[in-house]
Amino acid sequence: MNSEIELRDHLLVGPLRRSVNNARSVAGSIHDDATATKLGFRGGTVAGSIHLELFPPLLLKAFGKRWFERGTISMYFLNATTDREAVRAFLEEPPLDETDAQVDAWVERDDGMRVAEGTASVGSPQEPTALLRRPLDRFDAGQLRILGGLKAGDRFEECDAFLTKDAMTERMKVITEPLEWYTKPSPWGGAIATPATMVQLLYSQSIATLRSKLGHAVGLFGAIELRNINGPVLAEHPYRVAGSIVALGQSPKTEYMWFETALNEAAGKRIAEMRMLLRFMKASSPLYKDAIAS
């Protein structure tokens, strides 16, 4: 896998990959062609978490296996891609012999369009990550409709999180960077989570506990930061996940929620964390029917 990575003037460049929109059959979601085109997209979108899976080979080359123990990837998504559009990852080469380092990272489509940008790090660098230094109040929050039942500080109910062998098997069918450690014994014992399955553990169960307070609308990932605290996250290992809302707001086309979740072992040991920006399309919500019509 590493033989496909190019080094261009201190820049690690991954190979072109065709990321798969494996959720395109989920009707009514942003990944569904009919829904996405109705909302102004070119087609069903590839989830941002899928693009994170382009990076592990580059991260291993830059930081070694320690990245899975104490590393971060922090990405803000700029442009959506559709099923199997060719993309590649870029990662600045870190300084030699630095145990705590952070570098710029990004994803581009094969025509040069930037899909995502941010940072990757290992250890405890002094500078904040791309998302932690990003302002959360770019727009006036105003009167929220979709997220009107929520407020900053609201907590997700703590719940179980478990990555099954079957879920990993399904992910391996479409993943573009199939590291052996995802399916076979790793340096930490069992198989480890891919970035996309790690996101699902830190997102799906926790956000479900707030569903009753959310107005119906089509959502999409706006930004994701994964942090390995005492990693890696292991498949077929029991965890607990909890978190809270950091900020709420709106842009001209969306309402959005920044939140943090954490994955812990039963004894309380922190394994991983995530910061996410989740956007909800106003045009998809009946709560904005009057505004869209006018």
**Helix/strand/coil (H, E, C) string of 30-79?**
CCCHHHHHHCCCCCCECCHHHHHCCCHHHHHHHHCCCHHHHEEEEEEECC
Q: What percent of the chain has pLDDT over 90?
A: 84
Q: What is the pLDDT of residues 72-131, one digit of tens each?
A: 999 999 999 999 999 999 999 999 888 999 999 999 999 999 999 999 999 999 999 999
What is the pTM assigned to this prediction? 0.95
Can you give the pLDDT at residue 215? 84
Can you give the pLDDT at residue 294? 45
Cα–Cα distance, 168 to 163 (Å, whole number): 7
Between the alpha carbon of residue 216 and those of residues 28, 32, 169, 245, 290, the distances in Å are: 11, 16, 31, 18, 15
Residue 240 belongs to what domain range? 2-293
Residue 86's identity, in one-letter code, is A
Cα–Cα distance, 105 to 220 (Å, whole number): 21
Confidence of residue 2 (pLDDT cuts 50, 70, 90): low
Q: Per DSSP, which regions of the chain are E strands?
A: 6-7, 11-13, 17-18, 71-77, 86-92, 101-109, 114-122, 155-161, 219-228, 239-250, 254-264, 270-281
Residue 62 tokens, joined = 């830059």
Q: What is the pLDDT of residues 237-262, one digit of tens each?
A: 999 999 999 999 999 999 999 999 99
Q: What is the pLDDT of residues 210-233, one digit of tens each?
A: 888 888 899 999 999 999 999 999
What's the CATH number where 208 sits? 3.10.129.10
Number of independent structural domains in the chain = 1
Task: Work out the mean pLDDT of the chain and round it to a whole number.
Answer: 93
